[in-house]
Structure 1
């Protein structure tokens, strides 16, 4: 995204030119806008969030920690409406081979020996319900889309606190003072702390701005899809699940589809 971390390695032997990874032995310097960016910062931040999520897994509403697996289009998107746990894909072989999605708390007993008794969902039924939900979204999207866009823009405009530009200016001034103090061999502890606080504040503001950009991007993505398929779709496409759907919640009598633009559609079972 155009930034650089300097002195990630350092030379330990000037004769052999051997370099080793810097694990805090030497100071490191983070320089913003060091070179032309390959990708936008918002995209970079989204990717970092995905990497962290896949590495750390997810914690469900019932407090269970589950590993992230993106092998199937419904992976990490289907949740239990009763206990809040995630649904996992299993294969049944009797009488015929069929894929079934089941609540993880039903597959594995809890420490108290209890199992969630929410219904199992055959994958084919899940696909049919998803197709139905997407077509319902297309039919009722226009009014909801305008309201959601208005709400998101309201959030963006009403964001409190300093902007990125203001923080950049404050950070530049603080760093200049820090350099001057260091050159004059003055105590730099307070200035160093000020720079660190400003950096953390900037990271927080950048994170909020990235979230807002993602929300607007998701709204535009769903809106573009609806414009392209105003007469509905006839066949299930796994790529549409990844592109449009944020979450699917399974209840005993219906499924609740939450799309990436925050619209919610219910499909009876």
Structure 2
């Protein structure tokens, strides 16, 4: 029985290795395999290619739209369930993880990151997350996308922002609330924590104010941050937008020019050269016959080149995203017929990135990169 078990193990390893080689070759060719029965928004045609299911695609678009409008995973989940919309598995019950997976899946922009998981044992069908044990392959434009890439990038940025609301002296994480546009957007200059909206009763005088969370919870060093009336914060936002409106002819073109000068024309060439190097090394890996030691040095070089390419892609995407934000702000200000007279939640969500509260003034940072100081 020991000998038979040993032979079975050898056969399993050989079969697993051959299957891995076949999968890696298909991945290198950019052939995408997706279980469309569990993949909301897509189905397959007669040739097995991914095609958009228009009805389901509208649900995907709705999820992205609601998230960018300020809703959290839980609120989106409840709204879908309230409307009787089925998830990718055809169930009425949604989970917050379903929402996050949809918002972070690159396949919705038409790309595909292949081999996120890998098979440890082909006979037992045991799979584990790929944390560098085997190569990953990123295929661009592998199928028709549902979500524009600029929208997808905005969502990833917003997910990161909400997960890291405070960089203050306290180590406690703050929970994002999408109920108000200013939630998670107002920061304390003293400790770096976020401000929280509070119904205040000061000696019988009821009002709505914003206060530094570390000061309210008392879970960090004593913070001397002042209390800010909500009406004052609204006035600050209106003044900042109006200031940008008045100076749009001077500020935005200059900012756009600076961004365009930072966009290097040879990035595409550099990434193509890296792709060619990666392709050559991966073919060398496929030609390796010793499956117990499939070229560790070659594998490390592939990872290094892939990280270098990812850094180039991230830099280019960041610059392009900032350029897009400037264009969006120019379009918004051009369509604004006159200065604002009152505070608007949607304008705040669209334009403002951060407000820092100082002792006697505010600094408003727009998503386009513009900073405006508002004195009291």
Report the TM range for the smaller structure's normalisation.
0.7 to 0.9
More helix by proportion, 1 or 2? Answer: 2
Note the C-alpha offset of 1:173: 2.2
Checking the alignment, whether the CA contact within 8 Å between 1:6 and 1:31 is kept in structure 2 is: no
Give the gaps of 5 or more residues in structure 1: none
The superposition leaves residues 171-206 of structure 1 with CA deviations (integer Å, 9 ceiling, x where unpaired) of 222222222335999852221111111111111111
Task: Count how many residue pairs are aligned between Structure 1 and Structure 2.
Answer: 263
> What is the match of residue 143 of structure 1?
250
Checking the alignment, whether the CA contact within 8 Å between 1:92 and 1:98 is kept in structure 2 is: yes
Residue number among 51, 54, 68 corresponding to 2:162 in the alignment: 54
Residue number among 332, 357, 362 corresponding to 1:250 in the alignment: 357
CA 1:53–1:68 in structure 2 vs 1: closer, same or farther (change >3 Å)? farther
TM-score, normalisation: structure 2: 0.61
CA distance in 2, matches of 1:38, 1:147: 34
> What is the match of residue 128 of structure 2?
22
CA distance in 2, matches of 1:184, 1:23: 20
- Does 2:212 correspond to 1:103? yes
Give the gaps of 5 or more residues in structure 2: 1-108
SS in 2 for 1:89: strand
Checking the alignment, whether the CA contact within 8 Å between 2:166 and 2:192 is kept in structure 1 is: no
SS in 1 for 2:302: helix
Checking the alignment, whether the CA contact within 8 Å between 1:102 and 1:120 is kept in structure 2 is: yes
Note the C-alpha offset of 1:75: 1.4
Note the C-alpha offset of 1:10: 5.4
CA distance in 2, matches of 1:11, 1:200: 25
More strand by proportion, 1 or 2? Answer: 1
- Does 2:198 correspond to 1:90? yes
RMSD: 3.3
The superposition leaves residues 215-269 of structure 1 with CA deviations (integer Å, 9 ceiling, x where unpaired) of 1111011111110014212221111111111111112222121112222222222
Checking the alignment, whether the CA contact within 8 Å between 1:53 and 1:68 is kept in structure 2 is: no
TM-score, normalisation: structure 1: 0.82
> What is the match of residue 195 of structure 1?
302
- Does 2:174 correspond to 1:174? no
CA distance in 1, matches of 2:137, 2:265: 31
